[in-house]
A = this chain, B = another copy of it.
Amino acid sequence: MTYYQKLTAHFAKLDRFNHLAAVCGWDQATMMPTGGNQARGEAMAELALHIHQLRTAPQLADWLSEAKEETLSIIEAANLREMTRSWQQATVIPDDLVQAKSLAGSRCEHAWRTQRANNDWQGFSTHFAEVVSLSQQEAQIRAQANNCSAYDAMLDLYEPGVDSAQLDGLFGDMKTWLTPLTQQIIEKQQSEQFIQPSGLFAVEQQQALGKYAMALLGFDFNHGRLDISSHPFCGGTPSDVRITTRYDESDFVQSLMGIIHETGHARYEQGLPKSLAGQPAGFARSMGLHESQSLFFEMQLGRSDAFISALTANIQRVFPHIDKAMLSEQNLLKLYTRVQPGFIRVDADEVTYPAHVMLRYEIERDLMNQKISYRDVPDLWQHKMQAYLGVDTAGNFKDGCMQDIHWTDGSFGYFPSYTLGAMYAAQFMAAIKSVIDVNQCIQTGDLAAIFAWLESHIWQKGSIMTTAELIKHATGESLNVEHFRLHLQSRYL
């Protein structure tokens, strides 16, 4: 047995334990009765420890360096590169720091659930200070190992290959046109008439509609499910992908588009290369690329004129008791393309969303690089919300800097993925439109050609290439924010 083979066996084992964690995590969010939570938490912590031990197993250092000397195919070499990355990320942080951060994160998140409701920044800030400090320590250790800035080292956990120099460029460009564009769109939409949904949209009916959209979008129900959870997510494993949504019986609009979003995540997972199942090179490439698939499904396909038009008849069929004017194609299209600056990132439309991300990026970058203190966050938030979106959050912490869960457990570096995903998605759509008549595919209900492109250019690539290579290979150019700008302009102006 070669060292490379030993490694693939080890990582296959690791993947099987990750499979168990995915199933039990999904169950916890969707099925578990409240009273089961303590024992489940203990069982999952035990499993997380075991997974950490497998990721940092002492023999791996030798095996990885020995395997480097073996003759490997391009794919095997990519797999070894990803194994090394996984091992390095897990080993570089001392166990006591891992544990301290995990405990501080749990404490902060737990308290945050109440403190956010009470708009209690003072109370929150003591826990938050601890999480920031431990995350700064983590970032510094990773930075030393990666020979980069502290923030770039955190960014690398979610979006390998992207650094803040690149983000400064991308977001800097976007800043020059996003605010005026948003203003223009709002002015244009000001005179638009539309009807807000009202009436009873029963869960069963919404579920039927959601499953119809999933089927249309090629979701494989033999390898996945749709369920309910309070925070929608895509979980499970590539051969059994579990997506969730939440239903509001007074409005189906959000839930339907939420399902379409998660279906994009799901198809990426379902489409990963089976020949590399369980191996790091067979995993989804990055958080940003994952988000590009959900946003491709939601923003590029789902909210397009053609797609809304294709869904309209079915929406009317599922809700026969609802006023047809409210469910007309024209009205649905307006509902699904409404632009409105607001406090909350997760409720934002695709035009204002990037501003929420830029703001978080600038704050978390400077926090990790120790250029600002956790105390500066509310003022910076207020200042930037005013500048980017004209929104006043002074004193409103709960709809301001306390709105997201990400910083409570120290996931600094995650936020940029959302907007990178939107940019990737627009660039993919531009590339697809140069070879496929997308509107015609949607009108005829046959999206196969679009999915075939995504499958061969993205899903089947797993983590074999770097993100930059994948983008270039798929679209013929490096990440170019211009596609995103053109997409917004053509849809909204």
Verify A33–B237 contact, CB threshold 8 A: no
Oligomeric state, in copies: 2
In contact, B23 and A27 (Cβ under 8 angstroms)? yes
Of the candidates B27, B221, B238, the one whose C-beta lies within 8 Å of that of A33 is B221
Q: Are B33 and A46 in contact, with the CB atoms below 8 A? A: no
Does A34 lie at the interface of the complex (its beta carbon under 8 Å from any beta carbon of B)?
yes
Q: Does A32 contact B (CB under 8 A)?
A: yes
Known: A13-B46, A24-B23. A38 touches B225 (CB 8 A): no
With a cutoff of 8 Å between Cβ atoms, the chain B residues found around residue A3 in the complex are none
Q: Which of A35, A43, A236 lies at the interface centre, i.e. has the most chain B CB atoms within 10 A of its CB?
A: A43
Stretch at the interface among A14-22, A117-125, A296-304: A14-22
A223 touches B (CB below 8 Å):
yes
Q: Which of A27, A42, A240 has the most CB of B within 10 A?
A: A240
| Chain A, range 198-233, C-beta contacts under 8 Å to B | 220-225
Asked if A39 and B237 sit within 8 Å, CB to CB, the answer is: yes
Does A31 count as interface, using CB distance less than 8 angstroms? yes
- List residues of A (315-348) whose CB comes within 8 Å of B's CBs: none
Complex CA gap A240/B27 in Å reads 11
Give A237 to B47 CA distance when docked, in angstroms.
16
User: With the chains together, A46 CA to B23 CA distance in Å?
Assistant: 15
* Contact yes or no, B222 A38, CB < 8 A: no
A40 to B20, CA, bound (A): 8
CA distance A427 to B238 in the complex (A): 51
User: Could you list 27 examples of A-B contacts with CB < 8 Å?
Assistant: A13-B46, A16-B42, A16-B43, A17-B43, A17-B46, A19-B39, A19-B42, A19-B43, A20-B20, A20-B24, A20-B43, A23-B27, A24-B24, A27-B27, A31-B225, A32-B240, A33-B225, A33-B240, A34-B222, A35-B220, A35-B222, A35-B239, A35-B240, A36-B223, A36-B236, A36-B237, A39-B277
Chain A residues packing against B (C-beta within 8 Å): 13, 16-17, 19-20, 23-24, 27, 31-36, 38-40, 42-44, 46-47, 50, 220-225, 236-240, 277
- Please list the 3 inter-chain residue pairs (A to B) with the smallest Cβ-Cβ separation, ordered nearest first: A36-B240, A35-B223, A35-B222
